[in-house]
Amino acid sequence: MFTFRRRTLSRLIFITFFGLFLRWLLSPPPTHSKSQSHQIVEHNFIERATRPDKSLNVKRHPFLQSRMGRDERDDMFSALIQDGARDYWERFQLPYIINKDTASTDAQHVLTAIDQLLSLNGWVAALCPTLTRPFGQNKREGAYDDLIRENHLYYIAIVIHSADHFLVDQLAVIVQMAKRLGTDNLFVSMLDYDSNDSTETLTDLCEAVLTLLGVPFRIRRVPGMTQDPSAAYYPLEEAHMRNLALEPLQELQLKRNIKFARVIWLKGFTCPNDILETIKISFANEAAMVCGMDWAEHNGFFIFSDRWRTRDIEGDQFRQSKSSSKPDAVPPRDKQGAIRYAQHLPFQVFCCESGTHVVDPSQSYYKGVSYRSGTDYQNLSRSESVGLREPDAPCLDSSQAWFCRDLWVRSARDAMNEVDLANGAAAMRKRDVIEVAARDPMMDGALKARRDAGAAAVPVKPRDAVKVQVGSGEEEVNDDATDRRKKGKADEDANAGSDYDAMSVEDGGEIVPPPEVGRLSIPNSVFRPARILVNPRCPTTYAGVSHTQLARDLFGEGDDDALHIVGKYVLEDWEGAPESFVCQEQRQTGGRKATKTQRRLGFSIHDELQRPPV
Ligand SMILES: *[C@@H]1O[C@H](CO)[C@@H](O)[C@H](O)[C@H]1NC(C)=O
Ligand SMILES: *[C@@H]1O[C@H](CO)[C@@H](O)[C@H](O)[C@H]1NC(C)=O
């Protein structure tokens, strides 16, 4: 069981002081040009004419390490800290720097100190190599050598919204990743959204460590979108935060033509090896997005946590299952998903986020897909009258849910454009859609098989009534979850992950009637599917979770026979989008805790394609 023991606490205090010292040491004297220093410099004329430098080398390009929006005002401790740091420097450092040689020894001391601090000793991450994983991935040496040899560029994005308790462990994970993948192959983007805990100090520490290790970064603090947090619309904030965290990604492409192979969104705590494996799965499947799974602890159980944003391939909400759930009560409700989940294999979903997830920017951000949210929410601060919403009005759900739908539509549109280009056809009429999609070489195997079997028009999969049957074990968990919600513990957000806003059964959280939609004239299954997967071998957890027990619940005692499963990474058959999904929406402002309502909503890719691209 991971607890903040005294030793850990004193280490944290030490690190913080160390960080402050480094910051003091490294911070340049205040200059007027500082406000410009975050800007990524464009290739100049000569560089453009010759071979432009596309490296992420921070020694050559200091603008690759920048800090924005830090509160530089003096506070009551400023003088104390400055005096202490100067004293330390003058008495313990300066006298020993005699010439150039000793100066570099000194740098070595600092690096060794950081290494020791972040060797994961004492942190949650220290447990990672000992945790049970299927297919012996933790035991095999060099399991990721191939991946590392590829020398891809990775963009690590973190959004911190008053969640300082993960940050040091996340930093440890980043350092581990930098060690394995190379410090020149990463860019770290941290966005502090209006945190009022110790995030600010800890981002100082991150800045110091990343600077010393030579990892490029941008650490940025921004104010909240609204003065009064209860006047905020959470999905809008989500989209805003994420797009800001992606700004350096866009700038590096625009100004220096640097493209990243994958974007890794770090949330909660995930072990470095599990992230590497998720990246591997992402490449093997050419996936647009691969998510981990998010587990929160409650009363000695672990329950699947991110039910607000995750939908299985039939559009249903995941169950709030225990990590030890029986096969008929596992998180994904669809049959294929449940089977593959039980085998610890990646399975296709309609949407996910659930903790740390890996996105292919070439299928999304570089194509102009960004995060957004619904707009016709009701602002309670304005006491305006509520307009009646149509039953099929757009879903006012999370910005990740919008992002997933955008990925599905984007994928369909791209496939059509590619075929379009290949045929040299200038314009394409909407009624050609079916035919075009059928000619699409990238189309999923399942559909091809169905078509080859002589099905002229692909039949719409008859949808079972929404499945509400839950295992006996699970109901118990739901009760607990409800209790917990009713108690409204203060730090609930911290330990329940991103699901703290999911609804209980009593509130209509589980039973969603089928939508009032007819069958689609052009089924979603004819369009090229978006490749969105969940990797059940990548658990994301929170402070207070017993990682060892969770790993045992999920994966048993390690089963090396499975090593021989062929294609354990690759999904052969890709399904089309579901024709309806569970829409859990926030119709009103009220911050993160605003009430949610639920309905089932139709989803027609053909209809979406009629709208102008976003
Ligand atoms: C910020 O601090 C106040 C109390 O000072 C607290 O009520 C509020 O919830 C905090 N906000 C966040 C986002 O943590
Ligand atoms: C809601 O209205 C208030 C008052 O006009 C405004 O300050 C706030 O920004 C609005 N919130 C959103 C999310 O639009």
Residue 232 near ligand 2, beta carbon < 6 Å: yes
Q: Which of 376, 416, 413 lies closest to 393, judged by CA?
A: 376
> CB of 258 within 8 A of CB of 153?
yes
Distance 6 CA to ligand 1 centre (A): 26
- The answer to whether residue 440 is domain-embedded is no
Phi, psi (deg, nearest 5) at residue 86: -65, -40
The span from the CA of 155 to the CA of 360, in Å, is 10
Banded model confidence at residue 501, pLDDT cuts 50, 70, 90: very low
Using CA of residue 177, residue 182, residue 187, residue 191, what is the dihedral sign?
A: positive
b/e 76-99 (16+ beta carbons within 10 angstroms → b): eeeeeeeeebeeeeeeeeeeeeee
User: What amino acid occupies position 167?
Assistant: L
pLDDT in tens, 312-331: 999 999 999 999 998 889 99
Could you give the C-alpha distances from 238 to 159, 160, 161, 284, 517, in angstroms and in order?
9, 11, 10, 29, 30
Among 69-78, 393-402, 481-490, 567-576, which is the least confidently predicted range?
Answer: 481-490
- Model confidence at 108, pLDDT cuts 50, 70, 90, reads confident
| For residue 419, pLDDT beyond 90 | no
Nearest ligand to the C-alpha atom of residue 237: 2
Amino acid identity of residue 52, one-letter, is: P
The protein residue whose alpha carbon is closest to atom 5 in ligand 1 is 196
* Alpha carbon nearest to ligand 1 atom 2, residue: 196
Nearest alpha-carbon partner for 145 in 178, 176, 117, 180: 180
> Has residue 416 got a pLDDT over 80?
yes
Give domain status of residue 79, yes or no: no
Q: Is the CB of 162 under 6 A from ligand 1?
A: yes
Query: 109-144, pLDDT tens digit by residue?
Result: 777 777 766 665 556 677 788 888 887 776 677 788
Report which of residues 46 and 441 the model is more confident about.
46
Residue 120 belongs to a domain: no
In a domain, 510, yes or no: yes
The identity of residue 390, as a single letter, is E
Tell me the CA–centroid distance for residue 468 and ligand 2, in Å. Answer: 38
Cα(395) to centroid(ligand 1), Å: 29
Mean pLDDT, residues 484-488:
36
In a domain, 256, yes or no: yes
Q: Which atom number of ligand 1 is nearest to the Cα of residue 161? A: 13
First to last CA, the chain: 47
Domain hosting 162: range is 137-381+395-419+496-610
Q: Is residue 486 part of a domain?
A: no
pLDDT higher at 216 or 306 = 216
Can you tell me which residue has the tokens 């520490």?
A: 205
CB burial of residue 112 (10 Å; 0-12, 13-18, 19+) = exposed
d(CA 545, CA 548): 9
pLDDT for the residue numbered 388: 79
pLDDT score of 516: 56
pLDDT-derived band at 463, boundaries 50, 70, 90: very low
Lowest mean pLDDT among 107-116, 277-286, 293-302, 334-343: 107-116
In-domain check, residue 42 = no
The model's pLDDT over 171-201, given as tens digits with 9 standing for 90+, comes to 989 988 998 999 999 999 999 999 988 898 8
Q: What is the pLDDT of residues 201-233, one digit of tens each?
A: 889 989 988 988 889 999 999 999 999 888 999
CA-CA distances (angstroms) from residue 431 to 26, 437, 439, 461, 492? 63, 11, 14, 22, 51
Judged against a pLDDT cut of 60, whether residue 440 lies above it is answered with no
Other C-beta atoms within 10 Å of 491: how many? Answer: 10
How many C-beta neighbours within 10 Å does residue 15 have? 20
| Protein residue closest via CA to atom 3 of ligand 2 | 381
10 pLDDT tier (thresholds 50, 70, 90): low
Q: pLDDT value at position 212?
A: 83
Radius of gyration of the chain (CA): 25
Q: For residue 347, what are the β-bridge partners? A: 534
Task: Report the alpha-carbon angle 141-176-245, nearest 5.
Answer: 135
pLDDT at position 397 over 80:
yes
Ligand 1 within 6 A of CB of 253: no
pLDDT at 387: 74
* Mean pLDDT within 510-521: 62
Distance 227 CA to ligand 2 centre (A): 9
- SS3 label, residue 428: coil
CA distance 375 to 60: 44
Q: What is the pLDDT of residue 237?
A: 96
302: Cβ–Cβ under 8 A, 6 or more apart, which residues? 295, 296, 322, 323, 324, 541, 545, 549, 550, 553
Count CB atoms within 10 A of the CB of residue 343: 14
Instruction: Name the nearest CA neighbour of 265 among 156, 420, 368.
Output: 156
* Nearest atom, ligand 2, residue 232 CA: 13
- Please say if the pLDDT value at position 398 is more than 90: yes
Q: Is 381 in the pocket of ligand 2 (CB under 6 A)?
A: yes
pLDDT of amino acid 593: 85
Mean pLDDT of 580-598: 91
**Cα angle vertex 500, ends 306, 536, to 5°?**
20
Q: What angle do CA 310, 313, 314 make, to 5 degrees?
A: 105
Q: Which residues of 140-152 are buried (b: 16+ CB within 10 A; e: fewer)?
A: eeebbeebeeeeb
Which mutation among 162, 199, 491 tests ligand 1's pocket best, with the greatest number of atoms within 8 A of CB? 162
pLDDT at site 483? 35
Residue 88 lies in a domain: no
The two structure tokens encoding residue 518: 């007819």
pLDDT, tens digit, 9 for 90 and up, residues 76-92: 888 888 899 899 888 88
20-29, 161-170, 213-222, 415-424: the lowest-pLDDT one: 20-29
Chain position carrying tokens 């919008």: 402
- Given a cut of 70, whether residue 36 has pLDDT beyond it is no
> Could you give the residue ranges of the DSSP H alpha helices within 382-528?
399-423, 433-439, 445-452, 472-487, 492-496
Q: Give the model's confidence band at 241: pLDDT under 50 very low, under 70 low, under 90 confident, else very high.
A: very high
Instruction: Determine the residue of 382, 396, 399, 586 to mutate for testing ligand 2's pocket, defined as the one with the most ligand atoms within 8 A of the Cβ atom.
Output: 382
Question: What's the pLDDT at 338?
Answer: 95
CA distance 107 to 585: 52
Question: Per the structure, how many domains does the chain have?
Answer: 1
Lowest mean pLDDT among 44-48, 54-58, 499-503: 499-503
Does any ligand 2 atom lie closer than 6 A to the CB of residue 81? Answer: no
Distance of alpha carbon 286 from alpha carbon 278, whole angstroms: 12
Q: The domain spanning residue 539 has which CATH number?
A: 3.90.550.10
Confidence of residue 20 (pLDDT cuts 50, 70, 90): low
